[in-house]
Structure 1
Amino acid sequence: MADITDQKERSFPKIEFTDSEAGALTFPSSKSRTYNYFKPAKLRATMYEDVTVDVQPDPARYLTQGWIYGFGNGPGGYPHDWTAAKSSNWHQFLDPNEEWEQTIYRNNSAVVRQVSLCLENAKRAGAYNHWNHPWSNFIARNLGAWMHAENGMALHVFTSIQRSCPTNMINNAVAVNAAHKMRFAQDLALFNLDLSESELDFDGDAHREVWQNAAEWQPTRKVVEELTATGDWAELLFATNVVFEQLVGQLFRSELVMQIAAKNGDYITPTIVGTGENDYNRDSAYTRALFQMLVRDEENGAANKELFNGWLAVWVPKCLDAATALQPIWSQPADKVRTFAESLDAAKEKFSQLLEEIGLDIPKELNK
């Protein structure tokens, strides 16, 4: 019987402690029982920060193995060169509205209830019976046409942008923007349907012909279609929320429809259009915060400002042409509360204020 001591020593794989890179890093609150991989804006993280910040992993911050997915024969994750704008820290942006999944459902459901009650009460009270023909024709043609602009921006502008942004915080804000536009376009469509089914002399199909062929709407349609063909996501957001919405969107919604509806015996349309204006108020807030951050960036601020002024040179003339072409619709309602020149001056003033808040130069075209 062989001596047990003569047997060869067995070989086993040696245990090697690799110390996972992600778990070994030191980050804010890493020694706390309740920690975050980021530094909250205030003493404690808000719910928005907890569910949004760093949900989309970025290898430039915490992951050393690269993006967890990518594109075939192309860059991985969310390439920064999808825009000419530069930031020393894209993750610095936090939505001032603190929008995330719960808030978008809560806020939009509240608006839907408001619009639904408004339309139900209008039908019950026979509110449309007091409309004159010029006003019902104005709504059928022009508010119906604007529905196409809102729908185009929802589907082909903001839905496109939200896939290209480099952080989850920007993506969330833009995705909410897309939902706002889609909901508002649907509200206008339902309003059009209600009016078509009422006893009012209302042409519910007029908006198609107006959007496709009416001379006053073709420059607006052209700008919307050119926006959808813009590849740089930051330029697309800038051109839409900073330029187009100020010079065309608010000009039509706020400086025309909201101003003259009541004088023409219509208290329903301002309620519906007002929800779109409230949406833009919120969307303008996150847009202003984002571009302020880029203009004030210590490393890239000057270059970004020059870039944005170049974008203004491209899009301001186009949007002013679209705004000017809409002038004839100011004369269509029976009761004309304000002139086109007054409305355009108000839109230009608000646009200039927004540019000053961002930190950009006022285009010379606004002084003409």
Structure 2
Amino acid sequence: MVSTEKPQQSFPKPEFTGAEAGLLDFPSSKSRSYNYFKPRKMRATMYEDVTFDVQPDPDRHLSQGWIYGFADGPGGYPKEWTELKSGNWHQFLDPNEEWEQTIFRNNSNVVRQIQLNLANAKKAGAYQNWAPSWAKFVERHLGAWMHAEHGLGMHVFCSEQRSAPTNMINNAIAVNTAHKLRFAQDLALYNLDVTDSGIDFDGSVHRSVWHEDPVWQGVRENVERLTAIGDWAESLFAANVVFESLVGVLFRSHLVMQVAARNGDYVTPTVVGAGEHDYERDRSYTRALFAMLTSDAEHSAHNKQVLTGWLEKWVPVSVAAARALQPIWSQPQEKVVSFAESWDASVTGLRTLLSELSLDEPKGLL
């Protein structure tokens, strides 16, 4: 007789083991808030919630080491990608608290304001009041500066933001990238607007100026050399501390922003001012990061020595780039400020920043 009973089916039973990750104690591991990190204040901010430990790190939660790596050996985000050292890279928090939402909100606000200003300028015929020499200055030199901003954004900061060992650092650098690319775009669209305004303005000459004009070849060389740095922290330091202080602020703040209005131009400062505001925010996170490294309990002396070497390497490059720009100070019809005054202001800014980073000024370089 054939049995009609169905055989009893069995299913694999879950086995609960004492895996290392499950046994680890971490901040809030016994709290209902379930925070696995210690926030800066009593409660975690939204910035901290969405940036802490998004990027993995074997020193924190990957107790069995990297889960992926590169073919030549290093795993994930090697700390050896910079010569600088830190006892705790995760100590850095962006003072601007930038994350995905703030990137879109802040940049969209800037773009909206610039578009409104340009629309009003076109409607009011504001470009017709420009001194002819100032129109030539904008078409040649503000147009050339667009290439510097784009080069920094696309080929310097964009490559840096993959390499740092924590998400908090990479996120701040990614915002820096967005700032540079958006500002380069602002300048490009501004160039098109002025080209179509009916005044004598050649909107294509900026390319030949950037490639051939002797006054811009020092800046071009400086930017191109920054793109070739392999150490992500050296790249960031050379760009945001040295180049921006001695060249970027020199041109944007201590020349264009000072002389535009005296030459009948009230539009350009609104565009360039947005770029200066970007740099104020980018300098803030840069200052916080390198101040953390120069005050590191274990590696302070080493980091200061490395940063001093980078200053000795990159300050002469940016000084040469800045001094090559000197002739353009005499080109606007109304000269409100001299190159010497602008240069002194830029050097003072760098000295102040170095003091905040507990770094000595490189002797004989400024």
Indicate whether 1:83 and 2:76 are aligned. no
Q: Deviations over 1:198-227 (max 9, x none)?
A: 111001011001100000000110010000
Aligned counterparts, 1:20-99, within 5 A: 20-99=19-98
**Match of residue 316 from structure 1:** 315
Which segment is superposed worse, 291-300 or 16-25? Answer: 16-25
Task: Report the 3-state secondary structure (helix = DSSP H, G, I; strand = E; otherwise coil) of the residue aligned with 1:29.
Answer: coil
Report whether the alignment pairs 1:162 with 2:167.
no
Aligned mates of 2:112, 2:33 — CA distance in 1:
39
CA contact (8 A) 2:143 2:191 kept: yes
Corresponding residue number in structure 2 for 1:140:
139
Q: Structure 1's 38 and 134: CA in aligned 2 closer, same or farther, altered over 3 A? A: same
What secondary structure sits across from 2:117 in the alignment?
Answer: helix
CA distance in 1, matches of 2:128, 2:343: 32
CA contact (8 A) 2:21 2:61 kept: yes
Read off the aligned partner of 2:42 and give its amino acid letter. Answer: L
- State the aligned residue count: 356
Find the counterpart in structure 1 of residue 359 from structure 2.
360
Residue deviations 1:9-34, cap 9 Å, x none?
xxx99985322322221111101111
CA-to-aligned-CA distance 1:242-275 (integer Å, 9 cap, x gap): 0000000000000000000000010000000000
Q: Does 1:294 align with 2:299?
A: no
Query: 1:62 deviation in Å?
Result: 1.4
The one-letter amino acid paired with 2:331 is Q
Distance in structure 2 (CA, Å) of the matches to 1:185 and 1:362: 31
Asked whether 1:109 is paired with 2:108, we answer: yes
Looking at structure 1, the residues matched to 103 and 286 of structure 2 have their Cα atoms a distance apart, in angstroms, of 17
Contact 2:312–2:365, Cα closer than 8 Å, also in 1: no
1:187 equivalent to 2:186? Answer yes
- Equivalent residue number for residue 16 of structure 2: 17
SS at match of 1:193: helix
Over the matched positions of the two proteins, sequence identity in percent amounts to 67
User: Structure 1: 5+ residue runs without aligned partners?
Assistant: 1-11
Q: Output one character per residue of 1:36-67: Cα deviation in whole Å (capped at 9) or x when no partner.
A: 11100000000000000111121111111222
TM-score, structure 1 as length reference: 0.95
Partner of 1:341: 340
Q: Distance in 2 between matches of 1:305 and 1:73?
A: 30
Shift of the 15–109 alpha-carbon distance from structure 1 to 2, 3 Å rule, reads closer
Task: Report the CA distance between 1:366 and its aligned residue.
Answer: 5.1
- Separation in 1 of the partners of 2:276 and 2:318? 19
TM-score, normalised by the number of residues in structure 2 = 0.95
1:74: Cα distance to partner?
2.2
Alpha-carbon distance in 1 for matches of 2:163, 2:174 = 11
Please state if 1:328 is matched with 2:327: yes
Which residue number in structure 2 is paired with residue 233 of structure 1? 232
State the superposition RMSD in angstroms. 1.3
Q: In 2, are the aligned partners of 1:235 and 1:311 still within 8 Å (CA)?
A: yes
Q: Check whether the contact 2:316–2:365 (CA below 8 A) recurs between aligned residues.
A: no
- Measure the CA separation in 1 of the matches of 2:282 and 2:254: 18
- Distance in 1 of aligned mates of 2:362 and 2:58: 39
Structure 1 segments of 4+ aligned residues over 2 angstroms from their partners: 12-17
After TM superposition, the structure 1 stretch with the greater mean CA deviation from structure 2, 145-154 or 22-31, is: 22-31
Q: CA deviation at 1:132?
A: 1.5
Distance 2:42 2:13 in 1: 45
Kindly indicate whether residue 257 of structure 2 is the aligned counterpart of residue 258 of structure 1. Answer: yes
Q: CA contact under 8 A between 2:133 and 2:331: conserved in structure 1? A: yes
SS of 2:162's equivalent in the other structure is helix
